[in-house]
Structure 1
Amino acid sequence: MMNQGMLWFDDRKDIPDEQKIAAALKFYEQKYGRRPNCCYIHSSTGAEIDQTELKLRIEVSQYILPNHYLLEEN
């Protein structure tokens, strides 16, 4: 169950998915003053995202559209 979340859209082709998620994390932390612990991504998004580097659990979901990242605190 989600306590708080934010949907982030980034369709820039020249930036790796890790950088897109890092930008979303930075915005989330500035806006809410907390860090999310999970990010849901579309299955076409890079499967080789380094979860340990981002310090975030990455989950693939069929309900997330391509180029969208759902950050959650749960």
Structure 2
Amino acid sequence: MKVGMLWFDGKDVDDVGPRVQAAASYYRDKYGRAPTVCFLHPSMIGEVRLAQVDGVHLRPSESILRGHLWLGVEEQGA
């Protein structure tokens, strides 16, 4: 993914599921298609280590600040 939408959620909530769902809903409304991947700080995934939320694959990345989600559509062959 080269281009995506950066979403900030400053709420102090441990469950990342609702955060990803809210960001994905906004993404769908704004861009007319569903995101397929979400990069987020590893500390946000928690102990459960979810692999996906509502079809959006979660990818931990140290380069994403805590509280931020970077959503987009994964490129073919990537």
Query: What's the C-alpha RMSD, in Å, of the aligned pairs?
Result: 1.7
Q: Deviations over 1:10-69 (max 9, x none)?
A: 021246210011000000000000011100010110232351x42111100010000000
Q: How does 1:19-38 map to 2 (within 5 A)?
A: 19-38=18-37
Give ranges in structure 1 of 5+ residues lacking alignment.
Answer: none
For normalisation by structure 1, the TM-score amounts to 0.84
Number of matched pairs: 72
Q: What's the % identity of the aligned pairs? A: 33
Where does structure 2 lack aligned partners over 5 or more consecutive residues?
none
* Ranges of 4+ aligned residues in structure 1 off by more than 3 Å: none
TM-score, normalization by structure 2? 0.80
| Corresponding residue number in structure 2 for 1:73 | 73
